[in-house]
Amino acid sequence: MRIYDTLEREIVDFIPRIAGEVSLYACGPTVYDHPHLGHARQALTYDMARRYFEWNGLKVHHVANVTDIDDNIINRANREGVTETEIAEEWETIYIEAMDDLGILHPHDRPHATSYVQEMIDFIATLLEREAAYATESGVYLRVRSVPGYGDLVHRTPDELAEGAGARVDVDEAKEDPLDFALWKHGKPDEPTWDSPWGPGRPGWHIECAAMSLGILGDGFDLHGGGTDLVFPHHTNERAEAIAAGRTFSRYWMHNAMVNIGGEKMSKSLNNFTTVRALLDEHPLNARALRLLLLQTHYRKTLEINSEVMEQAREGVKRIDAMLRKATGAGITLTTTERDPEAIEQFRSAMDHDFGSPEALATVFDLVRRANGAIDTADADASSLVSTAVELANAMGLSVGSSQGSSEDQDDDTAEIEAMVERRSQAKAKKDFAEADTIRDQLAALGITVEDTATGPIWFRN
RNA sequence: GCGUCGGUGCCCGAGCGGCCCAAGGGAACGGCCUGCAAAGCCGUACAGUCGCGGGUUCAAAUCCCGCCCGGCGCUCCA
C-alpha cells in the first residue's frame, strides 16, 4: 500500500505501526451548524480508506472527534440564548444523522473535546514544564519557534509563516512572538470555563485533537487525515504541540481536496454551501450518487459539484443497480465462492496506489459490462462476474443490493402492482398491446418501471 | 505577493517515462434485441493529442524551465 504523505510531499510506502492494524485519526466537525458537502467529502474520503483497509483484512481503529466547545459554538449559544451544550448536542445529532444517511461507518471512537479537558490540561502542563509554552495574563501560549520542524507540514519556515501573521491576526502584545498561539484561554464573561492550574478558562486551539489522538491511539499512530484547509494552521499546530511535548505524532498525513461550487471552495464563510440534508432530500439516489461521484474523482483533486455532475453520477448508480436487477431476474444468485481474480487484482492494484478509486471503479464498471453480456448469453461466468462486481462496489460502500432506500414503506401496494404487471403480461400474451401499454403507463404514473426480459417482466420503483 | 495543487474528448474524469493512436462514467449517433419500449450488448464519432512555448530522453500527457489561466493555504474553515 502506498499513500501520498503531506509531510513528505510524495507517495510513500504505508507501513502500519503494528502489522495488520491501522490507527486512523480523522478530524471531525465542530458542531454548530448543518454539515455541508465539504464535510461529506471529508467523511467519505476516510470512510473509503477505512473500508479498503478492512476489505484487505486489516484491523482498523478509526477515531473521529467532535469539537463541542469553541468560539463558533459560544457565539451561536449566545445568539440563541441557550447553552453551549445544547447547541453542540443538537448539531452533533444532525451531523451523525447526515453521515448515517451517506452510509458512512461510525468511527470506533468519537471523542468529545469537553470530555478531554483534563487530558488537555495535563498536556499543557507538560508543555510548560518543558518550557515550550508560557503563561500571560490572557492565557497559556505555545512558543512556536522552539518547536523543531515547525511548518514542515505546510513546507514553510517560521519566518515565511510570520510574514503575514502580524498583518492578519490581532497582535497580542503579551505574546512573545506573533506566531505563538493560545493553548489555554482565560475565561471571559458569558463563556463556559473549566478550572485549571492557570485559573478558570477553556482550551485554546488545536490542543483537543493532539490530546485525543495521542490519548486514544497512542504515540506514533499511523494516519492522520482531514481537509487540505486544515494543513495550516490546525494540523501544523497539533503536530507542533505533540512534538513540543516530546511525543511522536502521526506517522502519515493524508489530506482530501476541497469541494468547489461555482469555481470557489464551498465553505461556511463564503456562504455558498449546499447542506448534506438538502442534497439528500433532492433525490433518493443522491447519497449513493454522491459517493460514486467522489470515488470517481481522486480524493486529492478539487471537485466541482453541481446538479449536472450529480445527475451523471445517478445514472452511474442506476447502471450498477440495473445489472443486479437483471441478474436477479435471470435467477442468478450472488456467490461468495466464485470470483474474477483478474478484476480483484486490478481493483487492489488501483487502490493500493494512493487510493486510486477512479481506476478501481473503472474495473467495477468493466465487470458490470461483462456481467451484462454474460447474463444475456446465459454464460456460465455470469454469476462470478456479477458477484465480483457487487463485492467490489460494496467494498467502497456503494450499497449495491442491500436494503437501499425505502424498502420498508413500499410494501402496502406491492400486491396491487404485481397484479397489474400480471394483467399486462396476459394482455401481451393476447397481443393486446394497447392494453399492455396502458397498464405500463399507469405503472409509470405510480413511479414503477417494468422491463421485459428473457425470463419474464421485472419491475422496480424509480 | 509568497507557498502549493492543477489545466486531458460535448460534460465529468483516470492516466504511478515505453503496455496511451489516452481508462471509466454521462450524453450523442448507428446496429442487434423488443409488438413498441426500457434495460442490455455490439459498434461509431468524438483528444491525430493531453493550457502555451522551449528543453531532457532512443522514448513524455507523464521529467525540467518559462509563460498564461484557475483552485487552495497564508484568517474560523472539511
The confidence score (pLDDT) of residue A175 equals 87
Instruction: Say if A287 falls within a structural domain.
Output: no
State whether A426 and A379 are in the same domain: no
State whether A391 and A413 are in the same domain: no
Low-confidence ranges of chain A (pLDDT < 70): 164-173, 403-411
Residues A103, A247: contact at Cβ < 8 Å? no
Instruction: Say if A298 falls within a structural domain.
Output: no
Provide the positions of strand B that have an atom within 7 A of a protein CB. 1-6, 11-16, 23-27, 34-42, 70-78
A33-72 residues near strand B (Cβ < 7 Å): 38-39, 41-42, 70-72
Structural domain for A327, as ranges: 308-395
Tell me which residue of A76, A103, A3 sits closest to A395, measured CA to CA.
Answer: A103
| Whole-number Cα distances in Å, A185 to A131, A164, A179, A202 | 18, 23, 16, 5
The confidence score (pLDDT) of residue A404 equals 46
State whether A218 and A314 are in the same domain: no
Instruction: Say if A428 falls within a structural domain.
Output: yes
Give nearest nucleotide to A315 (CA–C1'): B26
How many angstroms separate the CA atoms of A144 and A182, rounded?
11
Instruction: Say if A273 falls within a structural domain.
Output: no
CATH code at position A320: 1.20.120.640
State whether A209 and A312 are in the same domain: no
State whether A434 and A382 are in the same domain: no
Instruction: Say if A60 falls within a structural domain.
Output: yes
DSSP 8-state symbol, A58: P
How many angstroms separate the CA atoms of A52 and A57, rounded?
9
Mean pLDDT estimate for chain A: 93
State whether A312 and A257 are in the same domain: no
CATH code at position A20: 3.40.50.620
Output the nine-digit C-alpha cell for A249: 505524532
How many angstroms separate the CA atoms of A301 and A110, rounded?
27
How many angstroms separate the CA atoms of A391 and A343, rounded?
11
Residues A198, A135: contact at Cβ < 8 Å? yes
The confidence score (pLDDT) of residue A325 equals 94
The confidence score (pLDDT) of residue A403 equals 55
State whether A376 and A431 are in the same domain: no
The one-letter amino acid code at A264 reads E
- Which residue, A362, A395, A428, sits at the end of a domain? A395
- Which residue, A228, A243, A261, sits at the end of a domain? A261
State whether A213 and A79 are in the same domain: yes
Instruction: Say if A226 falls within a structural domain.
Output: yes
Residues A393, A320: contact at Cβ < 8 Å? yes
Output the nine-digit C-alpha cell for A146: 522552539
Residues A220, A17: contact at Cβ < 8 Å? yes
Instruction: Say if A435 falls within a structural domain.
Output: yes
In sequence order, the β-bridge partners of residue A59 are: A21
State whether A171 and A252 are in the same domain: yes
In sequence order, the β-bridge partners of residue A75 are: none
Give nearest nucleotide to A427 (CA–C1'): B35
Output the nine-digit C-alpha cell for A13: 510506502
State whether A148 and A204 are in the same domain: yes
Orientation of helix A117-129 relative to helix A236-244, angle to 10°: 60
The confidence score (pLDDT) of residue A336 equals 84
- Which residue, A395, A430, A451, sits at the end of a domain? A395
A186-245 residues near strand B (Cβ < 7 Å): 205, 226-234
* Count of the separate structural domains present in chain A: 3
State whether A415 and A387 are in the same domain: no
Instruction: Say if A437 falls within a structural domain.
Output: yes
A155 Cβ contacts chain B strand, under 7 Å:
yes
A267-306 residues near strand B (Cβ < 7 Å): 267-269, 293, 296-298, 300-304
Phi–psi pair at A370, nearest 5 degrees: -65, -40
State whether A151 and A192 are in the same domain: yes
A430 Cβ contacts chain B strand, under 7 Å:
no
ipTM of the complex model: 0.95
